């Protein structure tokens, strides 16, 4: 081991072929643009859920009609509140739960009846699940042993995997002697050491503190992409989902509410649940007054009228919930677009947060309306009690389902 | 308290050394904590630790021989047990006085019982001799009583002789020495004022007589609660007088005596002048020829020290011979066999408890709470049934005309004339005790298994392990502390068990504890019982130590 970059070594030693495939996938993604939610016919599909349903008690469905396709090398995050069915999906994929209905395919082969140990899927658990009675090296060696690998080969692979997560000198320690972050790295190395093509992670960073979590987020993504591993990552932390993933599947009520790359998810939420769940969001409720090619006029409950972009509303008179991101609200009259509707607002609170200013306003009867502004030299600092006028670009204001 | 000379003490804000300040601050807390546990501590100390310490002490304690035959054992020290000859006259002489007092105090039978543990027949020897010991020197006693027209039949005269008159100098040292001797002999207090002090002159001229009379006086005043001057002295006083006078220098001593009753004593000496001097050895051999038996004397000599290893030697099938420890005759060896059997059977019981308990504990730990609670009640059910009932139930099940045999015969698996023997042997003991001790194995296993996170198994399977490998490599090692805790519990309980082996064990299936119980309640050989118990305790501690060395005691978890 004389190289400075263990990951590069790992890559070189392990899977040049997989890299090629990953490149292919990446190229395809570029040309394809937005991947389709129900694109089961995709020939490159590596993991497929087809009409999968799951019920524990025979009365309620925890997972309702799930269709999902993952190409090779993708980093997909399942995001959702607890009880939304995301962990159940992960467990079905790992083989610890059986689907009540539907088909789960891995590399084109149905794995419904394949026991977990034959699926060859690496998994990182929420509590790491490092075997406490084994040393770190023994933990890593375990998956290789059960595959009947020779001793010298095992040792080489264990060393390489430990180097990859920068834990090379910890092989002789016990899990209890490591910190949370170190255990996390070891768990990751153990899930990767037998070179699975698919790795599942079940809220692996939940127990770490904020700083470490951010560092690990970066490292995990970095590793996954470098090794070209297909990753399914489960979390309820939206920041984590946004920063790490190629695509995010937002789960709620047993369904995927939206499946999209992070930027699209944030900027173009498909429904009000996604809008609420991802990032900070201002909502105003009202009724559609006019609707015509990509523009809608919404009459708020207080009688004010604003411009919005209709997303999943189609008829005049329909109730709607309008969603605007705090950083897209403008109160500087000079920067407002000509002819758009504006709203009167009263400043309730001004919070100085260093890099940004956060101001709470009362707008159209809603006193939880937040705006965020960058701390720039020319920025106006609003004072509580001040009466201002706010507005936004119509495409930033999305009229969603009520 | 605090080491302050070298670097200077760290001071608290008020200038007192910090350590003292801290100690004072913590003292209240400690006292309060101690008060909370004080009742339990006291209870445990009084009802557990002290009795155990007392029992253990009995395994080496052997005061009874030197307390009862205080003078004899001293004289016997010089006797060479390998010489092939009985001890000399002096030993028999001491034996006479010791045995006489012991017989008066009725302590000689206890000594007989004690020595009978070591040498059969000594008990009856002591009991018989105790009755006849006052016949020794009979002729001399009668002659002395007849002398001077029966003047020495007068209790008051004897009292005067022995005190040396009302103003004579007293020998309180002798009185205190005999007081102590009597206290050791009878384990009762002889501290009372007895209204008698031996005279200094008489105790110098006739020391043996003074001792004999003092013993008599003490016993009469304290034990019988009579007035010394109104009671007939013991025969030992007469015998001591006769023996002293007829011994070398006795006549001169008598001649120099001028105290009270000098004339009467002179007359008494003259009356016994024609009689042969008293021969104690011959007299004892007349009472019982076993007093000429070397084995008896050897036993007395061997067991004369205050502390003895005899009980322990006995516990490991050895005995004290003339040349130190030696194995007992083969037909008397029993304890080693029992120890070994107890160990092996306890191990087998522990083993079968592990085999039967592990799956149950596993199911308990993996079932949903409600069904687990139901099953737990079933596990605990035996605890709520009397031990005797459970054991007797096994008797019903296992005996030759019992349920199992009947079923087997009915099924035709076993012939009616070839019914299986499943009780009153080791098999019966193992089956019944496994059943009784099973909960002690299941409970610690269960509580350890409950703490094993099921994700470990999932992790192992996701890493490619089959169900069996995942269990054996990942789950089982983590459940070992539970097995360890259960095994220690079951094993220690098993080697001390005696009710169940007693009922279903027959002769082949009894444990060492049955023998201990026998010695405690039937043979009353508490010393041997204590020695056996001590060995058992030592073995347990040794195994515990070994377990700690091999497995590590912090690996034992009860939850």
Please check the confidence at residue A41 and state whether its pLDDT lies above 70: no
CATH 2.40.50.140, domain A280-401, yes or no: yes
* A230-235: strand order across its sheet: A121-124, A198-202, A230-235, A75-79, A247-252, A255-260
Q: Specify the pLDDT at position B459.
A: 93
CB nearest A143 (choices: B453, B464, B467): B464
Residues of A in contact with B463 (CB under 8 A): 117, 122-123, 142-143, 146, 190-191, 194
A142–B462 C-beta distance less than 8 A: no
DSSP code string of B279-296? -HHHHHHHH-GGGG-HHH
Percent pLDDT > 70 in chain A is: 89
Please check the confidence at residue A155 and state whether its pLDDT lies above 90: yes
Q: Specify the pLDDT at position A11.
A: 55
Summarize pLDDT for B110-126 with one digit per residue, the tens.
999 998 888 888 999 99
Residues of B in contact with A146 (CB under 8 A): 463-466, 469, 473
B458 touches chain A (CB under 8 A): yes
Lowest mean pLDDT of A34-48, A97-111, A311-325, A336-350, name the range: A34-48
DSSP code string of A308-330? EEESS--STT-EEEEEE-GGG-B
A123–B464 C-beta distance less than 8 A: no
**How far is it, in rounded angstroms, from Cα B396 to Cα B525?**
34
**Does residue A392 contact residue A345 with C-beta atoms inside 8 Å?**
no
- Report CA A364 to chain centroid distance, whole Å: 33
Cα–Cα distances (Å) from B140 to B79, B133, B242, B264, B324, in that order, read 29, 14, 7, 15, 43
Nearest CA in chain A to B456: A129
User: Residue range A28-33: average pLDDT?
Assistant: 42
Q: Specify the pLDDT at position A29.
A: 43
Q: Specify the pLDDT at position B555.
A: 67
**Does residue A237 contact residue A230 with C-beta atoms inside 8 Å?**
no
**How far is it, in rounded angstroms, from Cα B172 to Cα B203?**
11
B459 touches chain A (CB under 8 A): yes
Lowest mean pLDDT of A8-17, A107-116, B186-195, name the range: A8-17
Q: How far is A163 from chain B (nearest CA, A)?
A: 20
Closest CA to B193 of B165, B228, B164, B236: B228
Q: How far is B58 from chain A (nearest CA, A)?
A: 47
Q: Specify the pLDDT at position B415.
A: 86
**How far is it, in rounded angstroms, from Cα B7 to Cα B419?**
85
Residues of A in contact with B462 (CB under 8 A): 94-95, 116-117, 119, 121-123, 191, 200
Nearest CA in chain B to A193: B463
Closest CA to B171 of B207, B221, B223: B207
Q: Coil, helix or strand for A6?
A: helix
**How far is it, in rounded angstroms, from Cα A1 to Cα B25?**
59
User: Residue range A369-376: average pLDDT?
Assistant: 90
**How far is it, in rounded angstroms, from Cα B92 to Cα B70?**
13
Residues of A in contact with B467 (CB under 8 A): 117
Q: How far is A228 from chain B (nearest CA, A)?
A: 19
Residues of A in contact with B448 (CB under 8 A): none
Q: Coil, helix or strand for A367?
A: strand
Question: What is the H or E stretch that residue B182 is in?
Answer: helix B172-186
Q: Is pTM, for the whole model, over 0.80? A: no
**How far is it, in rounded angstroms, from Cα A78 to Cα A93?**
13
A132–B463 C-beta distance less than 8 A: no
B461–A129 C-beta distance less than 8 A: no
Residues of A in contact with B478 (CB under 8 A): 131-133
Q: How far is B63 from chain A (nearest CA, A)?
A: 56
Q: Specify the pLDDT at position A5.
A: 61
Q: Specify the pLDDT at position A15.
A: 43
Please list, in sequence order, all residues whose beta carbon lies within 8 angstroms of the beta carbon of residue B79, skipping any fewer than 6 positions away: B87, B88, B91, B297, B301
Please list, in sequence order, all residues whose beta carbon lies within 8 angstroms of the beta carbon of residue B402, skipping any fewer than 6 positions away: B395, B396, B422, B423
Confidence of residue B139 (pLDDT cuts 50, 70, 90): confident
Please check the confidence at residue B1 and state whether its pLDDT lies above 90: no
B458–A129 C-beta distance less than 8 A: yes
Residues of B in contact with A92 (CB under 8 A): none
CB nearest B463 (choices: A115, A126, A190): A190
B455–A146 C-beta distance less than 8 A: no
Task: Indicate whether this complex's ipTM tops 0.85.
Answer: no
A116–B461 C-beta distance less than 8 A: yes
Nearest CA in chain B to A200: B462
Please check the confidence at residue A12 and state whether its pLDDT lies above 70: no
Q: Specify the pLDDT at position A174.
A: 93
Start-end of H helices in B399-525: 403-411, 426-450, 455-462, 467-469, 476-495, 499-504, 512-521
Which superfamily is assigned to B335-555 in CATH? MetI-like (1.10.3720.10)
Please check the confidence at residue A17 and state whether its pLDDT lies above 60: no
CB nearest B464 (choices: A120, A126, A132): A120
Q: Specify the pLDDT at position B346.
A: 94
Chain A interface residues facing chain B, Cβ-Cβ under 8 Å? 94-96, 115-123, 125-127, 129, 131-133, 142-143, 146-147, 190-191, 194, 200
Task: Outline which parts of chain A fall under CATH 3.40.50.300.
Answer: 6-120+196-267
**How far is it, in rounded angstroms, from Cα B508 to Cα B427?**
9
A142–B458 C-beta distance less than 8 A: no
Q: Per residue in A162-173, is it b (16+ CB within 10 Å) or e — as a string?
A: bbbbebeebbee
Residues of B in contact with A122 (CB under 8 A): 462-463
Question: Which one of 3.40.50.720, 3.30.450.40, 3.40.50.300, 3.40.980.10 gives the CATH number of domain A6-120+196-267?
Answer: 3.40.50.300
B454 touches chain A (CB under 8 A): no
Summarize pLDDT for B486-532 with one digit per residue, the tens.
998 899 899 988 888 988 888 888 899 999 999 999 988 899 999 99
Percent pLDDT > 90 in chain B is: 29
Summarize pLDDT for A388-401 with one digit per residue, the tens.
888 888 888 888 88
B463–A143 C-beta distance less than 8 A: yes
Q: Tell me the HSE value of B69 on the side-chain side, using a 13 A CA sphere.
A: 30
Q: Tell me the HSE value of A28 on the side-chain side, using a 13 A CA sphere.
A: 17
Which position has the higher pLDDT, B291 or A380?
B291
A194–B462 C-beta distance less than 8 A: no
Q: How far is A325 from chain B (nearest CA, A)?
A: 40
Residues of B in contact with A115 (CB under 8 A): 461
Q: Specify the pLDDT at position A158.
A: 94
Please check the confidence at residue A152 and state whether its pLDDT lies above 60: yes
**How far is it, in rounded angstroms, from Cα B284 to Cα B527?**
30
Q: How far is A154 from chain B (nearest CA, A)?
A: 14
Q: Specify the pLDDT at position B310.
A: 87
Start-end of H helices in A134-252: 136-145, 151-164, 180-192, 210-227, 238-244
Beta bridge partners of B199: B170
Tokens of A189: 């190395």
Q: Specify the pLDDT at position A343.
A: 86
Residues of B in contact with A186 (CB under 8 A): none
Please check the confidence at residue A360 and state whether its pLDDT lies above 50: yes
**How far is it, in rounded angstroms, from Cα B168 to Cα A41?**
133
**How far is it, in rounded angstroms, from Cα A308 to Cα A401?**
13
Summarize pLDDT for B83-99 with one digit per residue, the tens.
888 898 889 999 999 99
Q: Coil, helix or strand for B490?
A: helix
Residues of B in contact with A117 (CB under 8 A): 461-467, 470
**Does residue A64 contact residue A77 with C-beta atoms inside 8 Å?**
no
Q: How far is A301 from chain B (nearest CA, A)?
A: 51
Lowest mean pLDDT of A11-25, B151-165, B295-309, name the range: A11-25
User: Residue range B39-49: average pLDDT?
Assistant: 93
Tokens of A165: 């997560």
Closest CA to A123 of B474, B478, B451, B456: B456
Residue of A111, A140, A142 for testing the chain B interface, max B β-carbons within 10 Å: A142
3-state DSSP of A235-297: ECCHHHHHHHCCEEEEEECCEEEEEECHHHHHHCCCCHHHHHHCCCCEEEEEEEEEEECCEEE
Closest CA to A97 of A38, A52, A127, A47: A52
Summarize pLDDT for A71-126 with one digit per residue, the tens.
999 999 999 998 888 999 999 999 999 999 999 999 889 998 899 999 999 999 98
Please check the confidence at residue B212 and state whether its pLDDT lies above 70: yes
Residues of A in contact with B461 (CB under 8 A): 95-96, 115-117
- Report CA A171 to chain centroid distance, whole Å: 32
Residue of A87, A94, A120, A129 for testing the chain B interface, max B β-carbons within 10 Å: A129
**How far is it, in rounded angstroms, from Cα A300 to Cα A321?**
9
B120 touches chain A (CB under 8 A): no
Would you say how long chain B is, in residues? Answer: 559
Residues of B in contact with A190 (CB under 8 A): 463
Which position has the higher pLDDT, B555 or A362?
A362
B465 touches chain A (CB under 8 A): yes
Confidence of residue B276 (pLDDT cuts 50, 70, 90): confident
Residues of B in contact with A200 (CB under 8 A): 462
Residues of B in contact with A121 (CB under 8 A): 462
B462 touches chain A (CB under 8 A): yes
Please check the confidence at residue B10 and state whether its pLDDT lies above 90: no
Task: Outline which parts of chain B fall under CATH 1.10.3720.10.
Answer: 335-555
If you ran DSSP here, which 8-state letter would residue A137 be given?
H
Please list, in sequence order, all residues whose beta carbon lies within 8 angstroms of the beta carbon of residue A353, skipping any fewer than 6 positions away: none
Nearest CA in chain A to B462: A117
Please check the confidence at residue A377 and state whether its pLDDT lies above 50: yes
Nearest CA in chain A to B458: A96
B555 touches chain A (CB under 8 A): no
Q: Specify the pLDDT at position B548.
A: 84
A127–B453 C-beta distance less than 8 A: yes
User: Residue range B51-70: average pLDDT?
Assistant: 89
Summarize pLDDT for B324-334 with one digit per residue, the tens.
788 888 888 88
Nearest CA in chain A to B463: A143
Average pLDDT, chain B: 88
Please check the confidence at residue A30 and state whether its pLDDT lies above 50: no
């Amino acid at each position: 081991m004389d190289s400075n970059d263990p990951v590069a070594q790992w890559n070189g030693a392990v899977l040049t072929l997989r890299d090629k495939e990953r490149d292919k996938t990446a190229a395809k993604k570029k040309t394809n643009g937005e991947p389709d939610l129900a694109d089961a016919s995709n020939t490159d599909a590596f993991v497929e859920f087809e009409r999968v349903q799951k019920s524990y008690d025979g009365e309620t469905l925890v997972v309702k009609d799930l269709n999902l396709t993952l190409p090779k090398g993708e980093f997909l995050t399942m995001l959702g509140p607890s009880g939304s069915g995301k962990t159940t999906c992960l467990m079905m994929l790992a083989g610890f739960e059986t689907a009540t209905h539907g088909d789960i395919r891995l590399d084109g082969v149905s794995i419904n009846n394949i026991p977990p140990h034959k699926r060859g899927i690496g998994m990182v658990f929420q509590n790491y699940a490092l075997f406490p009675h084994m040393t770190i090296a023994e933990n890593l060696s375990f998956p290789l042993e059960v595959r009947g690998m020779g001793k010298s080969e095992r040792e080489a692979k264990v060393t390489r995997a430990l180097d990859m997560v920068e834990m090379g000198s910890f092989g002789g320690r016990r899990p209890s002697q490591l910190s949370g972050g170190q255990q996390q790295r070891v768990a990751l190395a153990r899930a990767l050491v037998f070179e699975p093509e698919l790795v599942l992670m079940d809220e692996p960073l939940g127990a770490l503190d904020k700083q470490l979590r951010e560092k690990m987020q970066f490292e995990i993504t970095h590793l996954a992409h470098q090794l070209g591993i297909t990753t399914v990552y489960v979390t309820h932390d939206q920041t984590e989902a946004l920063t790490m993933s190629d695509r995010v599947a937002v789960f709620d009520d047993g369904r995927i509410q939206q499946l999209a790359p992070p930027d699209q998810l944030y900027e173009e939420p498909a429904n009000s649940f996604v809008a609420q769940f991802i990032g900070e969001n201002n909502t105003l409720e009202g009724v559609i007054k006019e609707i015509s090619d990509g523009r809608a006029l919404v009459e708020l409950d207080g009688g004010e009228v604003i411009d919005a972009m209709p997303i999943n509303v189609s008829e005049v008179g329909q109730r709607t919930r309008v969603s605007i991101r705090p950083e897209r609200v403008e109160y500087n009259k000079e920067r407002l677009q000509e002819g758009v509707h504006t709203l009167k607002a009263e400043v309730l609170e001004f919070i100085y947060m260093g890099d940004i200013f956060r101001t709470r306003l009362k707008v159209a009867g809603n006193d939880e309306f937040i705006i965020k502004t960058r701390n720039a030299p020319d920025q106006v600092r609003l004072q509580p009690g001040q009466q201002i006028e706010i507005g936004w670009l119509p495409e930033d204001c999305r009229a969603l389902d009520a | 308290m605090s080491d302050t000379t070298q670097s200077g003490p760290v001071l608290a804000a008020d200038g007192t050394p910090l350590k003292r300040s801290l100690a004072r601050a913590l003292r209240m807390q400690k006292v309060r904590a101690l008060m909370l546990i004080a009742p339990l501590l006291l209870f445990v100390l009084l009802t557990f630790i002290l009795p155990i310490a007392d029992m253990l002490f009995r395994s080496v304690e052997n005061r009874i021989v030197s307390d009862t035959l205080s003078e004899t054992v001293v004289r016997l020290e010089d006797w060479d047990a390998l010489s092939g000859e009985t001890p000399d006259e002096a030993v028999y002489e001491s034996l006479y006085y010791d045995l006489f007092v012991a017989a008066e105090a009725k302590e000689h039978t206890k000594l007989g019982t004690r020595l009978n543990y070591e040498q059969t027949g000594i008990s009856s020897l002591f009991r018989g001799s105790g009755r006849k010991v006052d016949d020794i020197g009979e002729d001399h006693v009668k002659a002395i009583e007849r002398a001077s027209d029966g003047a020495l039949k007068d209790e008051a005269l004897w009292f005067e002789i022995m005190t040396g008159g009302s103003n004579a100098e007293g020998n309180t040292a002798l009185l205190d020495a005999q007081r102590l001797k009597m206290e050791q002999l009878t384990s009762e207090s002889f501290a009372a004022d007895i209204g008698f002090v031996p005279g200094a002159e008489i105790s110098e001229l006739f020391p043996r007589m003074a001792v004999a009379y003092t013993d008599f006086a003490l016993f009469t005043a304290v034990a019988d609660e009579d007035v010394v001057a109104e009671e007939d002295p013991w025969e030992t006083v007469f015998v001591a007088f006769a023996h002293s006078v007829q011994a070398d220098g006795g006549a001169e001593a008598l001649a120099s005596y001028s105290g009270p009753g000098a004339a009467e004593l002179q007359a008494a000496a003259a009356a016994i002048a024609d009689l042969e001097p008293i021969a104690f050895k011959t007299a004892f051999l007349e009472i019982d020829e076993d007093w000429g038996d070397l084995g008896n004397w050897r036993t007395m000599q061997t067991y004369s020290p205050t502390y003895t290893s005899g009980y322990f030697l006995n516990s490991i099938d050895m005995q004290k011979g003339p040349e130190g420890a030696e194995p007992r005759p083969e037909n008397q060896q029993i304890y080693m066999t029992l120890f070994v059997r107890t160990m092996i059977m306890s191990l087998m019981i522990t083993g079968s408890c592990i085999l039967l308990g592990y799956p149950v504990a596993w199911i308990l730990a993996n079932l949903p709470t409600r069904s687990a609670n139901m099953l737990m009640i079933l596990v605990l059910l035996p605890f709520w049934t009397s031990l005797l009932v459970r054991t007797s139930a096994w008797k019903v099940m296992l005996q030759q005309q019992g349920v199992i045999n009947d079923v087997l015969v009915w099924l035709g698996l076993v012939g009616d004339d070839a019914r299986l023997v499943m009780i009153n042997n080791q098999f019966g003991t193992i089956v019944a005790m496994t059943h009784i001790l099973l909960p002690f194995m299941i409970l610690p296993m269960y509580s350890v298994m409950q703490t094993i996170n099921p994700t470990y198994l999932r992790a192992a399977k996701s890493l490619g392990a089959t169900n069996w490998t995942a269990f054996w490599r990942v789950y089982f090692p983590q459940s070992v502390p539970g097995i360890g805790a259960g095994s220690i519990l079951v094993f220690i309980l098993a080697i001390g068990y005696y009710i169940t082996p007693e009922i279903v064990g027959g002769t082949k299936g009894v444990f060492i504890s049955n023998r201990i119980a026998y010695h405690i309640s039937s043979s009353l050989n508490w010393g041997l019982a204590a020695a056996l118990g001590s060995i058992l305790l030592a073995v347990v501690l040794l195994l515990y130590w070994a377990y700690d060395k091999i497995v590590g005691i912090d690996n034992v978890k009860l939850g």
